[in-house]
Amino acid sequence: MNMLEIPTKTHDESRQGEAYTPVGEESVLFSKKFYIESYGCQMNFSDSEIVASILHQEGFGATKHFEEASLILLNTCSIREKAEQTIRKRLTEFRKTKEKKPDLLIGILGCMAERLKAKLLEEEKLVDIVVGPDAYRSLPTLIAEAETGQKAVNVLLSREETYADISPIRIDSNGVTAFVSIMRGCNNMCSFCVVPFTRGRERSRNADSILAEVQDLFNRGFKEVTLLGQNVDSYHWYNESTKTSVNFAELLEKVALISPLLRVRFSTSHPKDITDDVLFTMAKYKNICKYIHLPIQSGNSRILQLMNRTYSREWYLAKVDRIKAIMPDCAISTDIITGFCSETEADHQDTLTAMQYAQYDYAYMFFYSERPGTLAAKRFTDDVPEEVKKRRLQEIIQLQNELSKKSYTNDIGKTFEVLIEGESKKDSTHWKGRNSQNKMLVFPKKNYTYKPGDYVQVYVQDATQATLLGEIIA
């Protein structure tokens, strides 16, 4: 599932449902305030930064407190039924606020907006504004329309929109790491996935605009960027003026060359598209992080065929071998869906053995939930009982916990270069930061004068299932 989603997982990076304030912005300077929550994938968080920029230009300042807002927005996810239920519950809570504050506008953005526009507007009357992922530029007009009492909707998909000319406002940023969207949409018609229907066809952003955005981030003190796309490896931009093109390996190199002090990450990779050129580029540059998110979804070839993943079990595991041959120190994470249509116990066992073969460092794991409008919903019967799905999911989680614990324990005694991202949430006397393999390290500040954005060498003394614990080596 090339969704960069935040489901049940074995590490603690979830930011689901947070509200954001743009870095350095004093919202008291603005006559109007907006409050935004983002759910689901990193693309949604990136889109919220684009929305913040558009609203900022219209005189809206951000607030972390929805009670202060004249506009409440939820950037939504449709990938799982549970996500939609969570958002519906939140919308119901906000409608109660609107009863006391009639001028309050409530809007829904993203994938749910496109899929459930009529229901949310007319049947349930939960929102005033509905905006699809390709229509954020129309927000000012839609807000003005909603202020007159009309329901405002724009969910049109685009074959061109990439928001390349909009400089995102880095909302609630740590000032060290940032997301940079390099493409939108998806051409992979995985049978379980709603993305092609809610985000449209794949289109790549102008490479020059990407490099300009990354350069600007670095000039402002950011030390790490994550290049985002539903399938970054299929990035391909054609420059009409020069009659030349840029593929993902070339873009990755161009970004890495901005500065050796700038770390580069990317997500997500479709196994069929990650090439040797990408792998060799990663190996060539120290500042391209040695970490790949490579969704397998299932370890059984028959199920993969039903999912329309376009690769077999054997082909995928050979790709894992290739990654490790070129970069022995590369960490690999994955997505797994259990309980897909017609999955048997033998199919499930194939997933477990594939996990053991790949030795994933961590994983995003969930059981199949049928999404209306997908190819699977039209073609197949969701015939695996929910209790079986839950039991299989628990077995997958248990195995991944063991693999993660092994991976982290193996790092005890090693020294890593770590980019300090900020203070540990649990202890302000400790810093936190990640290594190249995307593993979180926590270590005491002591009397050093380091600050967020600095690189430090950290010796690992201990490990939990999701965190490395160590000491700075002066």
* Residue 100 pLDDT exceeds 60: yes
> What superfamily does domain 183-407 belong to in CATH?
tm_1862 like domain (3.80.30.20)
pLDDT digits (tens, 9 = 90+) for 228-239: 998 999 999 999
| List of residues 6+ apart from 96 with CB closer than 8 A | none
Please give the average per-residue pLDDT across 403-408, as a whole number.
Answer: 98
Helix (H, G, I), strand (E, B) or coil at 6: coil
Please tell me the predicted confidence (pLDDT) of residue 125. 78
Q: What is the mean pLDDT of the chain?
A: 90
Please tell me the predicted confidence (pLDDT) of residue 347. 98
pLDDT digits (tens, 9 = 90+) for 14-35: 334 444 444 444 434 677 999 9
Residue 123 pLDDT level (bands cut at 50, 70, 90): low
Could you tell me what percent of the chain has a pLDDT over 70?
Answer: 93
Report the alpha-carbon distance of residue 9 to residue 362 in Å, rounded.
7
Please tell me the predicted confidence (pLDDT) of residue 17. 44
pTM over 0.85: yes
316-to-157, 271, 309 alpha-carbon distances in Å: 32, 7, 10
Report the alpha-carbon distance of residue 280 to residue 49 in Å, rounded.
32
Please tell me the predicted confidence (pLDDT) of residue 145. 95
Tell whether domain 415-473 is in CATH 3.40.630.10.
no
Q: What does the angle CA 306 – CA 308 – CA 311 come to, to the nearest 5 degrees? A: 105
pLDDT digits (tens, 9 = 90+) for 363-402: 999 999 998 889 999 999 999 999 999 999 999 999 999 9
Listed by start position, the domains of the chain span 27-154, 183-407, 415-473
Tell me: cis bond preceding 198? Omega within 30 of 0 counts. Answer: no
* Residue 3 pLDDT exceeds 60: no
Helix (H, G, I), strand (E, B) or coil at 237: strand
Closest CA to 443 of 459, 466, 465: 459
pLDDT digits (tens, 9 = 90+) for 420-472: 999 999 999 999 999 999 999 999 999 999 999 999 999 999 999 999 999 99
Please tell me the predicted confidence (pLDDT) of residue 114. 72
Please give the average per-residue pLDDT across 199-223, as a whole number.
Answer: 95
Domain formed by 27-154, architecture? 3-Layer(aba) Sandwich (3.40)
β-bridge partners, 110:
76
Same CATH fold assignment for domains 27-154 and 183-407: no
Q: What does the angle CA 105 – CA 109 – CA 113 come to, to the nearest 5 degrees? A: 105
**Which pair of structure tokens corresponds to residue 82?**
């549970």
* Residue 261 pLDDT exceeds 80: yes
**Which pair of structure tokens corresponds to residue 18?**
């947070």
DSSP assignments along 297-351, one per residue: B-S-HHHHHHTT-S--HHHHHHHHHHHHHH-TT-EEEEEEEES-TT--HHHHHHH
Report the alpha-carbon distance of residue 147 to residue 376 in Å, rounded.
40
Please tell me the predicted confidence (pLDDT) of residue 4. 34
Please give the average per-residue pLDDT across 2-15, as a whole number.
Answer: 34
What b/e sequence results for 86-108 when a residue is b if at least 16 CB atoms lie within 10 Å of its CB, and e otherwise?
A: bbbebbeebeeebeeeeebbbbb
